[in-house]
Amino acid sequence: MPSSTVVHAAVFAVGAVIGAGTAVAITRRRQEQLPSSVPVSLTSTVSPGVELQRTGHSSALQAKEFPGSVLKYGHPGPISDLLTRKVYVAGYDRRLRHPSWTAEHLTRAMLGQSALEPVTATETGDRSKSTFEEDKDIPTFFRARLADYFKSGYDRGHMVPAADAKISQEAMDETFLLSNIAPQVGNGFNRHYWAYLERWCRDLTQSFSDVYVFTIPLYLPKLDTDGKSRVTYEVIGNPPNVAVPTHFAKVVLTTRPVSPSTPHISEVSAGAFVLPNAPIPHDAPLKGFIVPVDAVEKAAGLQIFPEEVKVGARHICQTTNCQLVVRRFDDAQKMGGKDTQKAIAAPGTR
């Protein structure tokens, strides 16, 4: 089983998939151009007088000294907390009080599905032993609170699913931190269609060596009756504290050897799906939610993939079946299954 250090490095190694001596076979040039480059670099150059400070698992840009008088008494930000966990990395949005993005690197071994690297009982994370917790790595002033979700009408939606973190109890527990959570409609979305999409992402490891998954909350405009486009969204909590995204994006990148005889030559596929934060019929085709990756980047203000991947990757639906397996999680709950949403307890009862 790979260590958390290896997992963390792998998430940020997407850009190295085609570099550092690894040749990429471009079997077909995409008709639809994919986006530009990703990973957050901890060595990025920032403005003079600003240094990258770390506290626990969190990294944030904070001011120390500034030339001249304009920023003499401080740097207003914005500050993005970089959260490094056992099986994922996330950027936390202090204004919206939920992740701005999360990134995962899935393999069969990580999911405990590899015969070559079996998982022992002591290594497996148990969802029933995890509880939702406020993230102490986030300053209290900007933290999402358990009370914000109480009687809000929304589920505490995992951006990195708990089912992706079964390698250890610690990894499982980290997915229940509120810094990995955003408000999601429950019936018809978080407990249904969104869950089917999460499972589809995991199932990609059956066909690909490496699967990189980025989950991104979005706030998209809607055309009003007066012909003007507006972005409107709810804010939950009392006082209002956590924003409710209008949409969520799943962006995936997969790699696998072109052939067993050339394991060093990889086929790269990528694709993006944007879903409304609303009930979706279980028979809605996944292909109906396909969007260009650069559309997600533009809406989120992010860069997700390196330039080389943008040029060379095939669309994921050209290299695998983009059809969801419908599994009614609410029916599993009635039958005593494990795939259930925990009831939200009143603040102070945990």
**Alpha carbons 44 and 305: distance in angstroms, whole number:** 17
How far apart CA 204 and CA 239 sit, in angstroms, is: 41
Given a contact cutoff of 8 angstroms between Cβ atoms, the answer to whether 250 and 189 are in contact is no
282 tagged catalytic: no
Phi-psi region of 244 (alpha: psi -120 to 50; beta: other; left: phi over 0): beta
Write the single-letter amino acid at 104: E
Cβ(289)–Cβ(269) below 8 Å: no
How many CA atoms are closer than 13 Å to the CA of 53, on its beta-carbon side?
9
**Sign of the CA dihedral running 184, 320, 290, 106:** positive
Six-digit token pair at 67? 């030339």
Question: Which one from 98, 158, 247, 315 is the annotated catalytic residue?
Answer: 158
Q: How far is CA 81 from CA 52, 101, 141, in A?
A: 10, 11, 13
Give the phi and the psi of residue 129 in degrees, each rounded to 5. Answer: -95, -5
Tokens for 325? 């397996």
Q: How far apart (Å, rounded) are the C-alpha atoms in residues 185 and 177? A: 19
Just list the catalytic residues.
158
